[in-house]
């Protein structure tokens, strides 16, 4: 059997003639110099495709069967060559399998730490459906981010104007005392609590800005934050305007009919918008109770920070943001600035909208199946996420150019200046 390895082209020609394949002797032996080793490594694909390309299908199948029988008779010889009966190099197969296993292990360790978004989807077989996978299209689409900024900009202006309107409509405290509230009735008033809540919000906002600065896909994150913030505050404008609730605390000095003419209302609107509606900025408002804007911002910051940072490497950051979120809500209630239902609805609506948005954005099958319904009920999502579908990985980078890059820019700029001077 091992003699086949010693076959010359003439021996292969004799083997072909014995099988009745005389017409292929010139092709295999004279033109392509197929000896015993080359013969054992041939496959049906080799015979079917160029350069051999056996033209007659019946001859191709017969020669393939005869070649398979020869390989079965020379199994030991094939093993010495490291070739299987199908003509596949076993050494190459082992290397590919080992490389693939190493790649899967790296995906398991690296992706689970850096992407943190259902990484098991990357390890599923290709023939199985994968609805939650890493996005293949991560174009920043800065123009959409700019549009989302203008959207939230005008929504905040509208919210500030509605806050002025509802302040004029606030019920008289002498006729309409605070409503019964399970928490407020059992929690003493803490004067400094609302300022503490706003300090908590500032700390979380700084964390979010730092995260945005280093995140590779910062423009996608900003677009999503602006879109969600604008949508929630637009909903808040309607809920504030529809029903006016009585003041939640007797410590609040609220009186309606303060902004009679339109110019005064617009001036007050700009003051509220400029101060972000914060007490620390000297903004005091009444009547804007259903639902809490401070809770909305705290919850959005918390959910965005935890969603777009590593769940393993930044575990303590996640824990801190959740603690700050809950403490901020507690401070709002301790300050008696909102009813408990205001805070509860703000947290519930914001968190549900965040999860709804990201469930659709992270699952392509859901996005495609609900495309028509989404365009009707959530048109901003359909517009902003039209090309960015799939999980956005948590990848970080240094956003500023390196010194070498900056130096190249300076040199190019100097060359352009010299060319302009010469002309």
* pLDDT tens-digit readout, 156-180: 999 999 999 998 888 888 888 899 9
> Is 406 within the bounds of a domain?
no
Range(s) of the domain holding residue 161:
142-384
Residue 133 in any domain: the answer is no
pLDDT band at 113 (very low <50, low <70, confident <90, very high): very low
Indicate whether 350 and 246 sit together in one domain: yes
- The CA R_g of the chain, rounded to the nearest whole Å, is 35
> Is 94 part of any domain?
yes
Token pair for 401:
């150019």
Residues 110 and 230 both lie in one domain: no
Based on the domain organization, do 69 and 209 belong to the same domain?
Answer: no
pLDDT band at 128 (very low <50, low <70, confident <90, very high): very low
Is 306 a member of any domain?
Answer: yes
Residue 392, both tokens: 């956005």
Specify whether 104 is located in the same domain as 253: no
Q: 312 and 214 in one domain? A: yes
118 in the same domain as 66: no
Q: Tokens for 218, please give them.
A: 């910062």
Question: Are 70 and 186 within one domain?
Answer: no
Same domain, 29 and 118: no
pLDDT band for position 135 (50/70/90)? low
Secondary structure (3-state) at 12: helix
One domain for residues 229 and 311:
yes
Q: Report if residue 399 sits inside a domain.
A: no
pTM beyond 0.85, yes or no: no
Q: Residue 8: inside a domain, yes or no?
A: yes
Same domain, 154 and 301: yes
> Which of the residues are catalytic?
294, 338, 342
| 265 and 158 in a common domain | yes
Listed in sequence order, the residues at least 6 apart from 227 whose beta carbon sits closer than 8 Å to its beta carbon are 148, 151, 152, 357, 380, 381, 384
Return the biggest CA–CA distance within the chain.
Answer: 115
């Amino acid at each position: 059997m091992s003699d086949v390895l010693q076959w010359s082209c003439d021996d292969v020609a004799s083997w072909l003639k014995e099988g009745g394949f005389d017409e292929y002797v010139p092709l295999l032996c004279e033109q392509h110099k197929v000896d015993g080793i080359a013969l054992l490594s041939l496959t049906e694909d080799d015979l079917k495709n160029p350069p051999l390309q056996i033209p007659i299908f019946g001859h191709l199948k017969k020669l393939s069967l005869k070649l398979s029988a020869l390989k079965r008779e020379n199994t030991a010889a094939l093993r010495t060559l490291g070739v299987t009966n199908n003509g596949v190099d076993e050494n190459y197969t082992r290397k590919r399998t080992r490389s693939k296993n190493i790649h899967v292990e790296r995906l398991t360790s690296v992706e689970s730490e850096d992407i943190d978004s259902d990484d098991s989807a990357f390890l599923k077989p290709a023939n199985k459906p994968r609805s939650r996978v890493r996005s293949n299209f991560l174009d920043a689409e800065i123009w959409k981010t700019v549009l989302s900024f203008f959207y939230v900009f005008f929504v905040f202006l509208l919210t500030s104007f509605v806050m002025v309107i509802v302040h004029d409509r606030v019920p008289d405290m002498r006729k309409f005392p605070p409503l019964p509230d399970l928490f407020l009735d059992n929690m003493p008033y803490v004067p400094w609590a609302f300022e503490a809540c706003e300090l908590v919000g500032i700390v979380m906002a700084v964390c979010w800005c730092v995260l945005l600065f280093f995140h590779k896909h910062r423009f996608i994150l900003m677009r999503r934050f602006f879109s969600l913030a604008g949508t929630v505050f637009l909903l808040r404008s309607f809920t504030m305007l529809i029903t006016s609730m009585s003041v939640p605390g007797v410590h609040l000095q609220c009186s309606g009919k303060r902004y009679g003419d339109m110019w005064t209302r617009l001036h007050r609107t700009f003051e509220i918008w400029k101060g972000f509606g914060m007490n620390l900025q000297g903004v005091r408002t009444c009547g804007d109770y259903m639902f809490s804007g401070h809770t909305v911002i705290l919850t959005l910051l918390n959910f965005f920070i935890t969603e777009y940072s590593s769940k393993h490497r930044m575990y303590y950051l996640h824990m801190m943001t959740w603690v700050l979120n809950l403490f901020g809500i507690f401070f709002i209630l301790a300050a008696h600035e909102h009813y408990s239902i205001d805070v509860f609805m703000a947290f519930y609506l914001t968190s549900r909208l965040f999860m709804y948005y990201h469930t659709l954005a992270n699952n392509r099958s859901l996005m495609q199946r609900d495309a028509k319904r989404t365009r009707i009920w959530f048109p901003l999502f359909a517009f902003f996420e039209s090309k960015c579908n799939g999980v956005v990985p948590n990848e970080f980078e240094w956003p500023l150019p390196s010194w070498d890059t900056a130096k190249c820019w300076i040199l190019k700029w100097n060359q352009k200046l010299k060319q302009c001077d010469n002309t």
